[in-house]
């Protein structure tokens, strides 16, 4: 583990935008965790000859390897990992009451929290998630264990202590005054670590669990510390009905959040499956980002989220695994489900709603970075950005991807595109042989 100066030479793939995937043979130089130069193989050879890279570790990729930006998970629940795969035959509100709240209550026990969170962080890094935006539990100390694990394993992380003040059967909520005090304690504690990779996020669970007084207070705290704010919106029809019933003065789900002033350009909302045109216009005008969570939207039968419609409304979108509503912690899975759900919508008669693999790859990298306001720091290989990246070996040992001699003759450029395409559709953590976060090597099975 360390921040050496490194040069990779070989295939580099990253997105400039939703429409533009860049794949080229070249080099990328990293100093002190930052990208300082990129260019062609010819330029590399010239610079290498003139001694520019003396003292650098030079990694020449094989013909079946490439470098891509690290994956960004814009929405996941760290305390729910022990429940992955359980109870997914129930709709959202029942699933929360029966499975989720009772499990999350256990994180009062900081020892239990530390044990689970250390595994969660390592599991995500192993799967190439270099940045994660996490919901913790209601507990300050338990959620600080997640902060410590992210710091220990060098993951870039946005972490929120979940806020809830409405009574529920599990007895999993806090009184308003105590909750606001706890959130401020949590935010201050995270800031006091002065870790460049980890930041606090104010986290009202959703309008079902928080009343207006709490959300107003949370909005003030987020503004005071200029922190991000995350929640859930319009995931499930019964949830929406309940929110509208309990907020009769609000004309929509989005309006409930807007009245508490939590919609702004530091705000990330998960799901957004059933938004009206008016709500899309509101979120876009306020600069809110959306975390698209296709796995849990399908598993909990919440709905097929029309991502293309959200993107076309000028809203920044990233991907979320949403464990344990989602049954898979890997962003590669989220990429595939994004393609599948959007394709289902198109097959049901919504022209042009499907997203192709290049677009889904953008959402998993630069799109996610932009959704978390980290687009100037990570997400692709622009000079000056931090080096958060994955070294992928398409034919790594044990890989699911069969080595194919190639039925057709391919140019080098066609070969490079096909390698990435194969990985997107068939790859898994075994193909991710190295993971870097800000130049720190955090996984190495090369
Ligand atoms: N809405 C409020 N809490 C949750 C949660 O934990 N998971 C999901 N999928 N939706 C929620
Ligand atoms: Fe969620």
Q: Which two tokens stand for residue 17?
A: 């935008």
User: What is each CA distance from 7 to 18, 27, 48, 64, 365, in whole angstroms?
Assistant: 27, 7, 10, 18, 21
User: What is each CA distance from 217 to 200, 220, 377, in whole angstroms?
Assistant: 16, 5, 30
Chain centroid, CA 78 distance in Å: 12
- Ligand 1: atom nearest CA of 293 is 9
The CATH number covering residue 179 comes to 3.20.20.140
* Burial label, 24 (beta-carbon count in 10 A; 0-12, 13-18, 19+): middle
> Torsion angle of alpha carbons 155, 160, 161, 167, nearest 10°?
-140
Q: Are residues 17 and 111 in the same domain?
A: no
Q: What is the pLDDT of residues 72-126, one digit of tens each?
A: 999 999 999 999 999 999 999 999 999 999 999 999 999 999 999 999 999 999 9
Tell me the three state secondary structure of residue 166: coil
Tally the domains of the chain: 2
Last residue of a domain, one of 372, 395, 419: 372
Distance of alpha carbon 113 from alpha carbon 104, whole angstroms: 10
**% of the chain residues with pLDDT over 90:** 95
Residues within a 6 A CB radius of ligand 1: 77, 92, 96, 100, 205-206, 232, 235, 296, 322, 325
Ligand 2 centroid to 340 CA: how many Å? Answer: 20
Q: Do the domain assignments include residue 136? A: yes
- Ligand 1: atom nearest CA of 232 is 1
Q: Are residues 259 and 198 in the same domain?
A: yes
Q: Do the domain assignments include residue 326? A: yes
Distance of alpha carbon 97 from alpha carbon 271, whole angstroms: 19
* 204-218, 219-233, 318-332, 409-423: least confidently modelled range: 409-423
Domain of 361 in residue numbering reads as 77-372
The H or E element spanning position 254 is: helix 253-259
Q: Indicate whether 405 pLDDT > 80.
A: no
Q: Are residues 235 and 118 in the same domain?
A: yes
Q: Where are the beta strands (DSSP E) in 54-190?
A: 57-60, 65-69, 71-77, 129-135, 156-160, 162-163
- Ligand 1: atom nearest CA of 104 is 6
Distance of alpha carbon 340 from alpha carbon 81, whole angstroms: 24
Distance of alpha carbon 202 from alpha carbon 225, whole angstroms: 10
Ligand 1 centroid to 84 CA: how many Å? Answer: 13
Last residue of a domain, one of 350, 372, 394: 372
Ligand 1 centroid to 100 CA: how many Å? Answer: 8
Q: Are residues 188 and 218 in the same domain?
A: yes
Last residue of a domain, one of 341, 372, 403: 372
Residue 130 · residue 72 · CB < 8 Å:
yes
Q: Are residues 185 and 100 in the same domain?
A: yes
Q: What is the pLDDT of residues 168-180, one digit of tens each?
A: 999 999 999 999 9
Ligand approaching nearest to the C-alpha of 133: 2
Q: Are residues 360 and 390 in the same domain?
A: no
Residue closest via CA to ligand 1's atom 8 equals: 325
At residue 1, the pLDDT reads 46
Ligand 2 centroid to 76 CA: how many Å? Answer: 6
Q: Do the domain assignments include residue 1? A: no
At residue 171, the pLDDT reads 98
Q: Do the domain assignments include residue 221? A: yes
Q: What is the pLDDT of residues 354-399, one digit of tens each?
A: 999 999 999 999 999 999 999 999 999 999 999 999 999 999 988 9
Q: Are residues 394 and 297 in the same domain?
A: no
Q: Do the domain assignments include residue 64? A: yes
Q: Which of 203, 206, 290 to mutate to test the pocket of ligand 1 (most atoms within 8 A of CB)?
A: 206
The H or E element spanning position 424 is: helix 412-426
Q: Do the domain assignments include residue 341? A: yes
Q: Are residues 261 and 359 in the same domain?
A: yes
Ligand 2 centroid to 262 CA: how many Å? Answer: 17
Q: Indicate whether 402 pLDDT > 90.
A: no
Q: Are residues 273 and 204 in the same domain?
A: yes
Q: Are residues 53 and 86 in the same domain?
A: no
Residue closest via CA to ligand 1's atom 7 equals: 325
Contacts of 51 (CB under 8 A, 6+ apart): none
The CATH number covering residue 53 comes to 2.30.40.10
Q: Are residues 230 and 277 in the same domain?
A: yes
Beta strand 71-77 pairing with 432-437: unpaired
- Ligand 1: atom nearest CA of 302 is 9
Residue 379 · residue 72 · CB < 8 Å:
yes
Distance of alpha carbon 101 from alpha carbon 244, whole angstroms: 23
Q: Are residues 22 and 133 in the same domain?
A: no
Task: Determine if the pTM surpasses 0.90.
Answer: yes
Ligand 1 centroid to 38 CA: how many Å? Answer: 41
Ligand 1 centroid to 96 CA: how many Å? Answer: 7
Within 10 angstroms of residue 209's Cβ, the number of other Cβ atoms is 22
At residue 148, the pLDDT reads 98
Helix (H), strand (E) counts: the chain: 16, 17
Contacts of 441 (CB under 8 A, 6+ apart): 1, 2, 434, 435
Q: Do the domain assignments include residue 328? A: yes
Q: Indicate whether 404 pLDDT > 70.
A: no
Distance of alpha carbon 309 from alpha carbon 327, whole angstroms: 25
Q: Is the dihedral of CA 118, 66, 427, 348 positive or negative?
A: positive
Q: Is residue 406 very low, low, confident or very high in pLDDT (cuts 50, 70, 90)?
A: low
């Amino acid at each position: 583990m360390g921040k050496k100066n490194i040069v990779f030479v070989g295939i580099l793939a990253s997105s400039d935008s939703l429409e533009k995937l860049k794949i080229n043979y070249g080099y990328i130089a990293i100093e002190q965790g930052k990208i300082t130069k990129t260019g062609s193989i010819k330029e590399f050879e010239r610079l290498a000859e003139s001694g520019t890279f003396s003292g650098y570790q030079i990694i020449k990729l094989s013909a079946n390897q490439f470098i891509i930006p690290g994956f960004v998970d814009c929405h996941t629940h760290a305390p729910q990992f022990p429940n992955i795969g359980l109870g997914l035959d129930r709709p959202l509100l029942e699933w929360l009451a029966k499975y989720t709240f009772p499990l999350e209550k256990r994180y009062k026990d900081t020892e239990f929290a530390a044990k689970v969170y250390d595994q969660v962080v390592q599991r995500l890094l192993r799967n190439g998630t270099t940045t994660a935006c996490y919901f913790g539990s209601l507990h300050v100390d338990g959620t600080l264990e997640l902060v410590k694990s992210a710091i220990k394993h060098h993951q870039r992380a946005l972490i929120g202590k979940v806020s809830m003040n409405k009574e529920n059967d599990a007895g999993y909520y806090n009184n308003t005054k105590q909750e606001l005090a706890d959130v401020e304690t949590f935010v201050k504690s995270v800031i006091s670590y002065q870790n460049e990779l980890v930041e606090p996020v104010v986290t009202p669970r959703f309008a079902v669990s928080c009343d207006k007084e709490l959300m107003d207070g949370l909005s003030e705290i987020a503004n005071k510390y200029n922190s991000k704010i995350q929640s859930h919106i319009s995931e499930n029809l019964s949830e929406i009905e309940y929110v509208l019933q309990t907020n009769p003065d609000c004309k929509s789900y989005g309006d409930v959040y807007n009245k508490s002033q939590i919609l702004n350009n530091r705000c990330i909302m998960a799901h957004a499956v059933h938004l009206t045109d008016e709500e899309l216009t509101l979120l876009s005008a306020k600069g809110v980002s959306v975390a698209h969570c296709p796995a849990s939207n399908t598993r909990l039968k919440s709905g097929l989220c029309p991502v293309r419609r959200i993107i076309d409304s000028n809203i920044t979108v990233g991907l979320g695994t949403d464990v344990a509503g989602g049954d898979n912690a890997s962003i590669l899975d989220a990429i595939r489900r994004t393609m599948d759900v959007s394709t289902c919508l198109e097959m049901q008669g919504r022209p042009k709603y499907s997203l192709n693999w290049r677009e889904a790859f953008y959402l998993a990298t630069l799109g996610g970075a932009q959704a978390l306001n980290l687009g100037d720091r990570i997400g692709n290989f622009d000079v000056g950005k931090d080096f958060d990246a994955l070294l992928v070996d398409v034919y790594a040992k044990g890989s699911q991807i069969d080595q194919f001699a190639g039925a057709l003759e391919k140019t080098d450029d066609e070969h490079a595109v096909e390698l990435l395409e194969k990985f997107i559709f068939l790859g898994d953590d075994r193909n991710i042989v190295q993971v870097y976060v800000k130049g720190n090597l955090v996984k190495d099975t090369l």
